[in-house]
């Protein structure tokens, strides 16, 4: 049972890192663009493209990937130990000593799963905090460009189905954000450990 569990274990810490990169000059519609006149006072912004293309966003993404890889390596190191010990127990006589070792492996496996889930939550919290900090740095830049363009309304560019994108603020915001800040430094967020529920405790 331990061997099968180890073989099926997949840690998805990497999913907690940055969103997929986009280009500043998007969108590039798959169909003929709708075009049309510029709507006065209506402006667009893609926060996703801003985070992905600004220098500070790229730096944060690289740091998040580094932290996620470190967290993954910590889990992988212990998982390898559990796998090795599980293989060593295969074919062993079913006696009291062997059963005790299997039960101990089951407890270690459960604890490893809990640590993996906890690490994933910490990386996600780290990403959220980094994005919040970048958004805080970007807010005055967005307000500045918004005022210069004479905007009266700003919409999420990714929600627009088509039209004239001349009032897309994203490229200007990215350029000015680059002039304001290039990088940020941060460490992995540490969250309180969650208590394992009785239902998740391996049976003796």
pLDDT digits 0-9 by tens, 37-63 = 999 999 999 999 999 999 999 999 999
In the prediction, which pLDDT does 92 show? 87
The pLDDT, as a whole number, for residue 32 is: 57
pTM over 0.85: no
- C-alpha 119: how far from chain center: 12
- Phi then psi for 45, rounded to 5 degrees? -155, 135
The per-residue pLDDT for 53 is 97
Whether 154 has a pLDDT exceeding 70, the answer reads yes
Tell me the percentage of the chain whose pLDDT exceeds 70: 79
Q: Please provide the average confidence, as pLDDT, over all residues in the chain.
A: 84
Cα dihedral 10, 15, 17, 19, rounded to 10, equals 160
Separation in Å, CA 19 to CA 5, 101, 109, 188: 30, 42, 31, 18
Does 167 score more than 80 pLDDT?
A: yes
Summarised one tens digit per residue, pLDDT across range 119-151 is: 999 999 999 999 999 999 999 999 999 999 999
pLDDT in tens, 57-79: 999 999 999 999 999 999 999 99
- In angstroms, the CA 185 to CA 48 distance is 20
Of residues 102, 82, 83, the one with CA closest to residue 92: 102
Q: Stretch 8-29: mean pLDDT, rounded?
A: 44
Instruction: With a cut of 70, say whether residue 10 has pLDDT above it.
Output: no
pLDDT tops 70 at residue 204? no
Calculate Rg over the CA atoms of the chain: 25
């Amino acid at each position: 049972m331990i061997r099968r569990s180890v073989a099926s274990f997949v840690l998805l810490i990497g999913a907690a890192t940055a969103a997929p990169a986009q280009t500043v000059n998007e969108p590039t519609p798959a169909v003929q663009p709708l075009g049309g006149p510029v709507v006065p006072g209506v402006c667009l912004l893609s926060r996703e493209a801003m985070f992905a293309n600004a220098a500070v966003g790229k730096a944060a993404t690289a740091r998040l990937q580094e932290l996620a890889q470190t967290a993954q390596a910590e889990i992988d190191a212990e998982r390898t130990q559990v796998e090795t010990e599980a293989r060593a127990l295969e074919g062993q006589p079913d006696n009291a000593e062997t059963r005790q070792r299997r039960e101990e492996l089951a407890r270690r496996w459960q604890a490893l799963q809990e640590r993996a889930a906890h690490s994933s939550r910490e990386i996600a919290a780290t990403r959220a905090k980094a994005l919040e900090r970048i958004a805080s740095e970007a807010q005055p830049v967005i307000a500045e460009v918004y005022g210069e363009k004479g905007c009266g309304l700003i919409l999420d560019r990714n929600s627009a189905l088509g039209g004239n994108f001349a009032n897309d603020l994203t490229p200007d915001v990215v350029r000015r954000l680059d002039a304001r800040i290039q990088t940020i430094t941060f460490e992995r967020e540490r969250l309180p450990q969650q208590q394992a529920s009785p239902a998740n405790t391996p049976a003796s």
